[in-house]
Amino acid sequence: MSGPAREAIATARRQLEVALGGLVQMLTRLRAEHRNALLQRITPHLDAAREAAERLATLEGQLGPEDR
């Protein structure tokens, strides 16, 4: 994997993690009834984003010594 591709994967993973963290912080500030209503709608999307971040982290971990 080329250096630019490796950096793109790392950047994408970091951005996903920051976005998820921001959403969680926003949700914790809401009233329980609003938070629960939002979570019912966005949980599948949060799960998909978390899984994508995990897949990107796996790709980062699979880089061989020649790629680092």
* pLDDT tens-digit series, residues 33-52: 999 999 999 999 999 999 99
Q: How sure is the predictor about 63, in pLDDT bands with cuts at 50, 70 and 90? A: low
The answer for residues whose C-beta is within 8 angstroms of residue 6's C-beta and 6 or more apart is 60, 63, 67, 68
Domain ranges of the chain: 3-59
Give the separation between CA 63 and CA 10, rounded to whole angstroms: 11
Residue 64 has pLDDT above 60, yes or no: no
Query: What pLDDT digit, counting tens, does each position of 6-26 carry?
Result: 899 999 999 999 999 999 999
The answer for residues whose C-beta is within 8 angstroms of residue 39's C-beta and 6 or more apart is 27
Contact 20, 46 (CB under 8 A): yes
Q: Which residue from 50, 66, 62 is spatially nearest to 2, judged by alpha carbons?
A: 66
